[in-house]
Amino acid sequence: LVAPSGLGGTRTKRRWIAMHDFDYDVAIVGCGVGGHGAALHARAMGLKTCVLSGGDVGGTCVNRGCVPSKALLAASGRVREMSDESHLASMGISLPGGATYDREGVAAHAAQLVAKVRGGLEGSLQRLGVDIIPKFGAYHGPNTLDVGGGERVTARDIILAPGSVPFVPPGVEVDGETVYTSDEALLLDHVPEYVAIIGSGIIGLEFSDVYTALGSEVTFIEALDKLMPAFDREIARLAERLLLTPRGIDYRTGVFASKVTAGKRGERPVIIETIDAKTKEPVETIEVDACLVATGRVANTKKLGLDQAGIETVRGVVQVDDRMRVLDGPDGDVVPHLYCIGDANGIQMLAHTASTQGISAIENICGRDNVVDHESIPGACFTHPEVAQVGLDEEAAKARADEHGFELGKAVSHFRANSKALAEGEGEGIVKVLFNKDTEQILGAHIIGMHAADLIQEVANAKKAGTSVRDLAFTTHTHPTLSEVVDAAFKECVGMFAH
């Protein structure tokens, strides 16, 4: 059979010939971005496909994650920009009376975007002939899912894509009003005057951007001894200078929020008790109007029935090999015809990773060996300015250079030397490229600055394609664009070979 259009191009493919009489070729549990990506590719490969959505089409990303958070960041970012009198004045602009916002209007912008994107996602599945079953699925055993009420769905291959849910540390009382996770914060049903954010990961940082733009005072409480542990150290230092200090953000590091007692809006504060992360001695008690708990996420696998099927997870995380095939435990054996993609396998909690893994699982199901190159997948934090990275940070790159005995190259370019950035009055930030001087291959890249999330893509694609920094330095970038900051870093790499 000739393949339908879509991923996979024009190669001739065979439709899976079912050996047994299954309901579907592929059944996917979970209709988040992972499940969606897998379903679209399954249909492109001609597989009869269903998705069990549990009634939550779009999953975390669309309903409680990427989409609403980016809407809030877009609106609050505008407020920040239009409230920055000196920035506007430097371009000859004044806004008498300053910028104001309507909280309900900002919240409605996010809610409407969610509805629109969710509708689009559902429509794309329907158009391609994916059956969306609004039920929860549990793994019953080979080729079989329980879907409740004694009903079952059978499929030759099953892909688990149940995602993740917020992790709330013990001792933290979440009431959804004064102490809450990102699930509730994204509704923006109030803007607290003084908010503590527990955890300085990406969620905490993006919300600090929203809150400070909308007028809140923010304090971070971070268990590790450094803020923003997910970032390259040099980038984290710059992020502190650009994203925290000018916004008056206060922080404590090396302390655990050991007990959080919910308050009552306008009547009683939230009480946060902290202990030293190492000695466990009490440190202080903080009173705030609200507390956002942004302490990571855990795999949403409790109700999947994996234990009963003899499949061992690690704190809920489904163990997979590099082909997304489920293992029956850590370093265990492959469970035939069972795959797990996205947040639930704990490899990299990003929307586009979930969807890439879904495509990869389908490729493997179709008998075309596929391994995802996670080191070439970029990630971004959508603050103002943005922070983005791909591959190794400098510490890990140094360790790899030591281990493999090659010389590490490092090139840095600056937004302050870029005409477009200066025209926008956004001259803060850097691009840093780390590479192997022997092979000229990219090991990692880190960008902080305007539109970093878009700029990183060029480096990610080059890394995936194995393009050398020398070849990249001879590509041409449009003038005047921010992409020239990336170009300048590539050229800086080549400059090093001349000496």
Closest distance to ligand NAD from the beta carbon of 387 (Å): 9
Of these, 27, 50, 61, 462, which contacts ligand FAD (CB under 6 A)?
A: 61
Closest distance to ligand FAD from the beta carbon of 65 (Å): 3
Of these, 197, 202, 365, 456, which contacts ligand NAD (CB under 6 A)?
A: 202
Confirm or reject binding of residue 163 to ligand NAD (CB under 6 A): no
Six-digit token string for 189 = 């049903």
> 352 among the known binding-site residues?
yes
Task: Mention every residue, 6+ apart, whose C-beta is less than 8 A from residue 206.
Answer: 69, 73, 381, 382, 383
| Nearer CB in complex with ligand FAD: 363/492 | 363
> 97 among the known binding-site residues?
no
Q: For tokens 């305007």, what's the residue?
A: 450
What separation, in Å, do the N-terminal and C-terminal C-alpha atoms of the chain show? 57
Give the integer Cα–Cα distance in Å for 196 and 194: 7
Give the integer Cα–Cα distance in Å for 456 and 438: 23
- Which of ligand NAD, ligand FAD, none interacts with 33 (beta carbon under 5 to 8 A by kind)? ligand FAD
Confirm or reject binding of residue 162 to ligand FAD (CB under 6 A): yes
384 as an active site residue: the answer is no
Q: What is the DSSP letter of 264?
A: B
**293 with 342: CB under 8 angstroms?**
no
Chain-centroid distance of CA 49 in Å reads: 26
**460 with 425: CB under 8 angstroms?**
no
Residue nearest to ligand NAD (CB): 201
Of these, 15, 18, 23, 56, which contacts ligand FAD (CB under 6 A)?
A: 56
Give the integer Cα–Cα distance in Å for 145 and 155: 8
Of these, 223, 362, 433, 469, which contacts ligand NAD (CB under 6 A)?
A: 223
Binding mask 111-150 for ligand FAD (x = CB under 6 A): -------------------------xxx------------
> 137 among the known binding-site residues?
yes
Give the integer Cα–Cα distance in Å for 347 and 320: 9
- Which of ligand FAD, ligand NAD, none interacts with 24 (beta carbon under 5 to 8 A by kind)? none
- Is residue 197 exposed (0-12), middle (13-18) or buried (19+ Cβ within 10 Å)? buried
Give the integer Cα–Cα distance in Å for 154 and 26: 9
**433 with 411: CB under 8 angstroms?**
yes
Give the integer Cα–Cα distance in Å for 122 and 63: 13
| Nearer CB in complex with ligand FAD: 383/467 | 383
Handedness of CA 475, 476, 482, 488 (dihedral sign): positive
Binding mask 370-389 for ligand FAD (x = CB under 6 A): ------------x-------
Confirm or reject binding of residue 208 to ligand FAD (CB under 6 A): no
Stretch that binds ligand FAD, among 79-87, 162-170, 217-225, 240-248 (CB under 6 A): 162-170
Stretch that binds ligand NAD, among 1-9, 107-115, 375-383, 443-451 (CB under 6 A): 375-383
Give the integer Cα–Cα distance in Å for 28 and 49: 8
- Which of ligand NAD, ligand FAD, none interacts with 342 (beta carbon under 5 to 8 A by kind)? ligand FAD
Of these, 57, 185, 249, 350, which contacts ligand NAD (CB under 6 A)?
A: 350
Chain-centroid distance of CA 205 in Å reads: 13
Phi, psi of 373 (to 5 degrees): -90, 85
- Residue numbers 51-90 binding ligand NAD by CB under 6 A: none
Give the integer Cα–Cα distance in Å for 170 and 78: 37
- Which of ligand FAD, ligand NAD, none interacts with 319 (beta carbon under 5 to 8 A by kind)? none
**271 with 249: CB under 8 angstroms?**
no
- Contact set with ligand FAD (CB under 6 A): 29-35, 52-54, 56, 59-61, 65-66, 69, 136-138, 161-164, 182, 203, 300, 303-304, 342-343, 349-352, 354, 382
Please give the positions annotated as active site.
479
Return binding residues. 70, 137, 199-206, 222, 296, 343, 349-352
